[in-house]
Amino acid sequence: MTTSTKMRRYQAPVWDEPVIMETGAPGRRGQLFPAGEGAFASAGTTESLVPKGMQRKSAPALPENSEPDVLRHYLHLSQETLGMMGVNLFGTCTMKYNPRVSEKITARSYVADIHPDQHEDTMQGALEIIHRFDAIMRELSGMDQFVFQAAGGADAAYTQACVTRAYFAAKGELSQRNQIITSIQSHPCNPATAAAAGFEVITLPLEEDGYPSLNALKAAVSDRTAALMINNPDDMGVYNPEIKEWVRVVHEAGGLCFYDHANFNGVMGKIRARELGFDACMFMLHKTFGVPKGGGGPAVGTYGCTAELAPFMPGPLVIERDGHYSLDDSSEVSTGRVREYLGNVHQVIKAYAWTRAMGAEGLDEACNISVLLNNYMEKRLLEIRGVTRSHPNGEAWRMEMTRYSLGKLFEDTGVTVFDVQNRMVDFGVDAFWLSHEPWVVPEPFTPEAGEMWSKEDIDYWIDVLAQISDEAYSDPEKVKSAPHNQAKAKLKGETLDDPERWATTWRAYKRKWGV
């Protein structure tokens, strides 16, 4: 495939920027605070207020900079990094535009200054929003109760593993029901959290249709089955049409069923977990519901379940009586906290604002656009030399993402998927996502358009990949030596695992580099 699209000229800024600890000068300040007056002046000195055993023997090693110095330093660093601000089709982890109005709302004092220990009577507004969002989640899933404490998808999956454990312990069956079933293309947090909660994990392999067969599930299910933990569609973009039968089989054996809705964008407003028979599910606010996803940052995994499982949920839960909102932590069989207090409340408020702005019609339309764009991309991407897709003979259309392979490109040219990643950023396009381990598809990549990118953006992204494919076949070294237009050239990976070279603290940096 050859494209006539004109590639944009792109060159990342290059700054010989030191680390912040190497900048500034003694005594330099960004803010000068006046001496205390009145009651503050008579409160005493730091030495008199801090117990002697807790006082530092030497001043902390902190950089001393003016405000403009700090601003310029971090601006330079941001300019040296794409920062996921190009066309970003970060598959399996839905990336959406995060509305600025939501950031403004949660920066207001009535949100930002809430203290989790303050009395519930003084934060009725925040509790009302949490309760209202609970109602929205119930409507989208059919579940009876939600909690927003979990700090991301893995936390929410762990919540399910703990609820499963508590549920069967209460029934006196935990010693027998010690297995959880998942598939090799479920998110890694499902088997990982099941194992962390003490369960034995049974992993089903994919078969020719792109998902495990019903017979494989039946062979795995027994009177030892505690739960099924599965996402659908999976990260291949394949939706298992037999999922209701899967749930029936597990329920007949006495197990629970958990729906990992990480890929909810492709079925949003179309299906409800409870109507498929599931006992519990999770959604990711930092993916599907317009909330920022900051690598390990303020994520929220909403966890919902049926009334039968609700007593085992972590508390406190927000309840409403006669217009008053309160925190209920009274369940004697609760699994206890999976996160401190109420979790990331400000992120719940952002998700509530986004969801209310979208409305039911907007969510439905966003789902339609996601599926449409994904299948548009698939048609164009499969015209590019060296690109194939997983399970090429499967007839079902993929949902909001498709797992592709550059295995043919690698066989023909020696150019790896990592080389292609590095070259893509030379065009101002963010590197694509590969796949979760294990790689069941060689040299994988998994773009996800979602609903927010324009056709022009999607076409440019595809045209960049087509250009790189042409380069790989005509001048493979050009791709292998990329990036060429970035602040940093290709890193030498042989030192990345050497603990004598890398440093994550200023103390280690000084010791290892002789500063």
Residue 193 lies in a domain: yes
| Mean pLDDT over the full length of the chain | 91
Residue 117 lies in a domain: yes
Residue 153 lies in a domain: yes
Q: Which residues of the chain have pLDDT under 50?
A: none
**Domain count for the chain:** 1
- pTM value is 0.86
Q: Which class for 121: exposed (0-12), middle (13-18), buried (19 or more C-beta within 10 A)?
A: exposed
CATH of the domain at 305: 3.40.640.10
| Distant-in-sequence, close-in-space partners of 343: CB < 8 Å, separation ≥ 6 | 148, 149, 150, 151, 300
Strand boundaries in 92-223, DSSP class E: 145-147, 179-183, 200-204
Residue 233 lies in a domain: yes
Residue 481 lies in a domain: no
* Distances from the Cα of 163 to the Cα of 338, 362, 411, angstroms: 11, 33, 47
- State the pLDDT at residue 294: 66
Per the CB < 8 A criterion, the answer to whether 445 and 432 are in contact is yes
107 SS3 class: helix
Residue 121 lies in a domain: yes
- Which residue, 395, 425, 422, is CA-closest to 406? 422
Q: 172 is in which domain, residue-wise?
A: 104-357
* Distances from the Cα of 378 to the Cα of 90, 372, 474, angstroms: 15, 10, 24
Calculate the CA dihedral of residues 64, 66, 72, 74 and round it to 10 degrees: 40
Two tokens at 182? 């998942």
- Bridge-based pairing of strands 301-305 and 280-284 is antiparallel
As beta bridge partners, residue 258 has: 229, 280
Residue carrying the six token digits 């530092």: 56
Residue 289 lies in a domain: yes
Residue 475 lies in a domain: no
- Which residue, 154, 167, 201, is CA-closest to 181? 201
